[in-house]
Amino acid sequence: MMSKQAELLAQATQADVDRFMKKVKKLPNGCWFWTGGRSRGQGNSLPYGTFSLQGRGVRAHVFAAEVIGKKVCPPGHHRDHTCEFSLCVNPDHIEIVPASENLKRRWSSGEHKK
Ligand SMILES: [Zn+2]
């Protein structure tokens, strides 16, 4: 069974993508900075972008990865920012990794957190 969010993402149109891109500011380093609404992540307190799709809020980076980047996130996997910038929505900077891998990285990168 598809989750409500997956259903919404599957129904996204080009008009939604255009609307999404109007809130993106492309930075010189390649990151797509999200200028729209945001909320705190669960489990960590990082800010994540939110995008309104048919009246419901979806994570901006999830929309970018699935709708623009066509990167489906299977169960047991996480979306990981390769640039470590939670407000980046560049699909090229979002990697689908097994949940255990994401955890391992968080452990190994814990030392040099800004
Ligand atoms: Zn980035």
CATH for 86 = 3.90.75
Name the pTM for this structure: 0.83
What spacing in Å lies between the alpha carbon of 16 and ligand 1's midpoint?
21
Ligand 1 centre from 113 Cα, in Å?
16
Kindly indicate the confidence band of residue 35, based on its pLDDT and cuts at 50, 70 and 90: very high
- Tell me the per-residue pLDDT of 50-92, one tens digit each, with 9 for 90 and over: 999 999 999 999 999 999 999 989 989 989 999 999 999 999 9
Task: Tell me the C-alpha distance between 83 and 8, whole Å.
Answer: 27
Confidence of residue 109 (pLDDT cuts 50, 70, 90): low
Residue with tokens 């968080």: 106
Q: Above 80 in pLDDT, residue 44? A: no
Separation of 91 CA from ligand 1 center, angstroms? Answer: 8
Number of structural domains (the chain) is 1
What is the distance in A from the centroid of ligand 1 to the CA of 35?
14
d(CA 82, CA 12): 25
Residue 43 sits in which domain range? 4-112
